[in-house]
Structure 1
């Protein structure tokens, strides 16, 4: 899944968490934070790769 698709999925999950009953929000928010953190780590690694002259193809 590319970064654009992952970002769309994370935004949709955030909207779902916002609409969830209060008692479910904490777990959903925790899971979402973990996924966003992973997304940012992957994105940072990709930026570093490109900065070092890596593949300039489609980011995955």
Structure 2
């Protein structure tokens, strides 16, 4: 799995962090998503997929 984010699309809702805090974080100054792990382990795959689904801006892309 490879995760990419589009910080330009991000609306800083924080849903990704709630779903997968080991993979996503937010910048302190504006809340925009920060990718912590581009290749998360398999045990986090379901959480990462959930983060992509709940992202209101569709700023998370996943490649298998």
Give the TM-score of the pair, scaled to structure 1: 0.34
Which protein has the larger Cα radius of gyration, Structure 1 or Structure 2?
Answer: 1
More strand by share: 2
More helix by share: 1
